[in-house]
Chain A
Amino acid sequence: MRFVRRYLVPRLIQYVLVICLGITVVFFIPRLMPTDPVERVISALEAQGGYLDPAALEETILTLRETYGLEEGLFKQYISFWGRLFTLDFGPSLFMFPVPVFDLIRTALPWTAGLLFVSLLLGWTIGNILGGLTGYFRQSRILKIFDGMVMLVRPIPYYIMALLLIIFFAYLLPIFPIGGGYTVGYKIAFTWRFVGSVLKHAFLPLLSLTLLNAAFRHQTMRLLVQTVRDEDFIHYAKIGNVKERTIFSRYVLRNAILPQITGLAMSLGMIFGGALITEIVFSYPGIGHLLYRAIVNGDFNLIMGITTISIVAIATGILVIDFLYPLFDPRIRLK
């Protein structure tokens, strides 16, 4: 009971407040942008040239503003938004009218979530293990060579890395597709053929994200392990004839991993913002490009939809970590 009152409830209240505040900020900020979604639709029509009567365009703008509900007062729009939020109704996309925002997100999010979630976990796991080994077993030649390779890979800008992978494995050696989420013409269904196509198309984007993620985790973990291994309690363990493997896994790694777990939780939440460059380079369907287009076109509803989900995801990630931390670190466990 004390745990619920003094730990759980305050955390939950904080969680709800963060989400409410974040969503409120997200509601107002896009409306402060100079971009108007109706103007963007008109610009898209105008950009194709041809015969568009200016007088008619002017009237069309007024009509569209009314259709999109932009003529209502800001406060009314805000209240209306909260009313619809609990049914996940973010309204229609303004630039891609009348497609519901939820439908757009629902289509794009699984691709982003799948790709980024897997790449994040893989990169985190591989990077931490290898970084930990490299940081602890400093005399190992193999690990030193590996560390050198990581130092070469790490500074490569992501765009260049992605292009290199495409050039090598999709163009020079055409093993994987140049881009896309699955083979053109296939039906989206849980069939072996479709799943196989998805995996094949996801491989290069996954590899590009995992490589750089793993390199980053490797370097940070190496530094953390190098710090921990010089602590007094480690020397004491060695003097006490504790096995090297036990010292590494249960003493060093377990202490060094704590900041990495926090980092993982934060990164998991940010999945919902997408990976714009990945989606552009690999023509991968995802939420990053959707968000980019929403911002460029002043699509308030779509911006709010995506960022709301992102806010909830990040806040939830932090909350989960708050609950999980006592499992990993007994020092902060409440009695």
Chain B
Amino acid sequence: MKRKILWMLLSFLLVASLVLASCAKEEVVVEEEEEEEEEEFAGFPRSETLYLAQLTGRVGTPDDFNDLVGWKWTDRGMQNIMNEIFWSIDTVGNRIINSLANGPPVYSADLTQMTVTLWEGVYWSDGVEFTADDVVFTVEMCKATPGMRYNIEFEVVERVYAADKYTVVFELTEPMSRFHLYFMDQWGGCCIMPKHVWEDVEDPLTFTYNPPLSLGPYVLHSYDPAGFWTAWERRDDWERTPVGMQYGEPGPKYVVYAAYVDDTAKVMGLALNEVDTGFLPLEAMKAALGASDYISTFRPDYPWMIGGLPWMGGVVFNTAIPPFDNKEVRWALVLATDIASFFATAYDGVAEMSPLPISNTKLYLENYHEPMLEWLNDFTLDIGNGETFKPFNSEAAYLLAEYAEARGYPVAEDPKEFYGIGWWKYAPDVAATLLEKNGFTQDADGEWLLPDGTPWVINLLCGVSTSAASTRNSFAAAYEWRKFGIDASVKMSEMAADLGDFGDFDVVGEWVSNEGLGGVVDLYINFFPWHSKFVKPVGERTFSRAGRWSDPRMDAVIDALAVTPFDDTERMVELGLEGLKIAVEEMPGMPTLGGPDFYVVNNYYWTGWPDVDNPYNNAHWWPTGFKYVLPFLEPTGR
């Protein structure tokens, strides 16, 4: 009996071992055919290697470099080191960098044709020259392959052809003044693929494009099959890339993007000089600064952050459901918010504020914020009973400065330089008047009741990351509104984005308008999702903003912007101002703080990072423009 059992057990274990043994994964270094003869790679010399903490974390498709299908964790070096688009954006310097294109797009007068001239002398990493044929091929491939990115977008391309070796002409089926935006994006845009590799691919949807070819100054060296790191090596012919041609040799010989799942690990890695950058929440950033003298931020002291980035945080009202479908209720909530207290709660006062649904980039400040100051000061609300109220507070920056000083932080002589032109007044009595005008009442405890007499409960939806601006905005707003007497609470969910898209929320913490490009005055990108044609009822997925707000006047602005030539700055600004005024009146979302971005760099091995004294580019290591920072980084010799 014992023997029988033992035999059965041994047989089972043998089978199980064979199954598990078959699970062993093969080596994944790119040049597999040379492995056995090559000397074993000894690891990356620290003094020659730049280690970057990857923003989007562990890569789910580590051996797949096909950027034109689905989501491939492109910030692991694909969009920011390897691939190129026509134009990259420097959001700090507010400029467009010519990447593959050697100048801006040229549109025909009727906006149905776009011509792009390419740099000469750019080569793929396998030595084949990059030409207009690669662009033509890429666009035609996307257009012909359902499921590929830009398959639908390029339906508007009637014909694309190479006028000569370095000139591409796009003929469009309808007038479009912003067709070029598909090739100009912080998160990659349509990356151009090598025709000589892809033309023989049977199924572009499942093609992993491994090993990939590079137009950037680095090529793929190796990667972790579990997705924790991706390593790149500087090309020997770096001078035959747009980066090398314009800015010279990139400093690091190797660049490694590594996934740190936990902020604590990032801080320790920075302190031990194992990683050179880290994107951290405010508290972790302070911990990192305290852990090592070699760690620095964009500004040496408070407020540490870059500022002036093109995304605008706040909370968005679900305008499809009562009572948020009433703009006076929305305004009441804004006036019930003490912005100084809000900032203290959300970010310890470390953020810029904006009264408008756009942030404080240099171009936005010059073209929109400052020109609107007079209008904002005169802007008036009708609060009923023949009374009016001017809600704008041009001195709000001083409230934040007061808080910062009380915290012991150094404050600029003119607080408006950092905090912005102002915000809305903290006027709970006026907020109460507005609510009462609309049938709201208060119970004996001062808690607000809806017009039907039931308690007013507001659920604010946000994601689960406590460091995200959306989460911090939500908690700060809930705190302010609870002070005012509303039963406001926060619901954190992994599915916040989906719930928001389907309208399953009251108020959601998110960008109050679409994220801008930065580097341009054009507000079309910020506004276009507000167009009524994209709004869907609650319960259906919307491709508009989650708040589902639209307005015929804003539709007219968006339609006008869509046909405004990209270089007609004056008209763009005029329309932008008009749109902003509509957005202020309607207040579909409460704008609060512009994307506070806390990142740190470690200067132990590498210096030359952009900072407030030398803001030559945006040091964020995930956008397409990061490859243009690399030539400025120098080894310390340690």
What is the interface of chain A, defined by CB distance below 8 A to chain B? 3, 34-36, 39-41, 43-51, 53-61, 63-64, 66-67, 93, 95-99, 104, 106-111, 113, 163, 166-167, 170-171, 174, 178-181, 183-189, 191, 193, 279-281, 283, 285, 289, 293, 296, 316, 320, 323-324, 326-327, 333-335
Contacts and interface: CB of A to CB of B under 8 A. Distances in A.
B613 to A, nearest CB: 28
Interface in B76-120: none
Contacts of B206: 98
Contacts of B311: 49
Given A49-B514, A179-B260, 20 more contacts: A41-B70, A43-B501, A49-B511, A51-B517, A95-B71, A110-B20, A110-B25, A170-B268, A178-B269, A179-B262, A180-B229, A180-B258, A186-B41, A187-B40, A187-B222, A188-B25, A281-B261, A323-B8, A326-B2, A327-B5
Contacts of A107: 25, 225-226
A60 B272 contact: no
B534 interface: yes
Given A53-B153, A293-B60, A283 B262 contact: yes
Given A35-B495, A53-B153, A99-B64, A324 B5 contact: yes
B8 A67 contact: no
A97 B69 contact: yes
Contacts of A67: 146-147, 205
B5 A49 contact: no
Given A49-B187, A56-B152, A193 B40 contact: yes
21 contacts: A49-B186, A49-B187, A50-B188, A51-B181, A54-B529, A55-B534, A60-B151, A64-B147, A98-B205, A99-B63, A106-B23, A107-B226, A109-B23, A166-B265, A187-B27, A187-B35, A281-B261, A281-B262, A293-B60, A326-B1, A335-B1
Contacts of B237: none
B512 to A, nearest CB: 13
Interface string B219-242: 000101111110100000000000
**A45, A50, A58: which has the most chain B beta carbons within 10 Å?**
A50
User: Top 5 A-B pairs ranked by shortest CB distance?
Assistant: A54-B543, A285-B226, A49-B515, A56-B152, A96-B60
Contacts of B153: 53, 56
Contacts of B498: 34-36, 39-40, 43
B267 to A, nearest CB: 9
Interface string B28-45: 110000010000110110
B543 A55 contact: yes
A47 B497 contact: yes
A289 B20 CA distance: 20
Contacts of B40: 187, 191, 193
Contacts of B507: none
Contacts of A41: 70-71
Given A45-B71, A95-B60, A51 B41 contact: no
B454 interface: no
Given A60-B151, A327-B2, A171 B27 contact: no
B417 interface: no
Contacts of B181: 51
A296 B44 CA distance: 35
Contacts of B186: 48-50
A171 B228 contact: no
A171 B185 contact: no
Contact of A50 (B8, B29, B515, B533): B515
A39 B311 CA distance: 23
Contact of A184 (B20, B26, B44, B185): B44
B264 interface: yes
**A39, A184, A191, A285: which has the most chain B beta carbons within 10 Å?**
A184
B541 A188 contact: no
**A3, A46, A53, A320: which has the most chain B beta carbons within 10 Å?**
A53
Contacts of A58: 543
B140 to A, nearest CB: 17
Given A35-B498, A58-B543, A64-B147, A110 B23 contact: yes
Interface in B133-192: 146-147, 149-153, 178, 181-182, 185-189
Given A54-B529, A191-B40, A280 B262 contact: yes
A171 B271 contact: yes
A323 B226 contact: no
Contact of B501 (A39, A113, A326): A39
A181 B23 contact: no
Nearest to B500: A43
Contacts of A193: 40
A172 to B, nearest CB: 10
B24 interface: yes
Nearest to B35: A187
Contact of B187 (A50, A59, A64): A50
Given A55-B152, A58-B543, A283 B259 contact: yes
B272 A111 contact: no
A110 B226 CA distance: 11
Contact of B43 (A98, A183, A324): A183
Contacts of A108: 226
B549 to A, nearest CB: 14
Nearest to B272: A174
Interface string B261-305: 110110011011010000000000000000000000000000000
A106 B23 CA distance: 5
Contact of A93 (B60, B188, B268): B60
**A110, A170, A171, A316: which has the most chain B beta carbons within 10 Å?**
A171
B264 A296 contact: no
B60 A323 contact: no
B123 to A, nearest CB: 27
A318 to B, nearest CB: 13
A63 B225 contact: no
A179 B261 CA distance: 9
Contacts of B222: 185, 187
Contacts of B41: 185-187
A180 to B, nearest CB: 6
Contacts of B268: 166-167, 170-171, 178
A285 B9 contact: no
A20 B146 CA distance: 37
A279 B261 contact: yes
Contact of A323 (B5, B23, B51, B529): B5
Contacts of A171: 268, 271-272
Nearest to B225: A107
Contacts of B150: 56
Contact of A43 (B261, B262, B497, B515): B497
Nearest to B185: A50
Given A51-B181, A113-B20, A188 B225 contact: yes
Interface in B480-529: 494-495, 497-498, 501, 511, 514-515, 517, 525, 529
A116 B178 CA distance: 54
Contacts of B261: 179, 279-281, 283, 289
B571 interface: no
Nearest to A297: B60
Contacts of A326: 1-2, 5
A188 B272 contact: no
A280 B532 CA distance: 42
Nearest to B26: A188
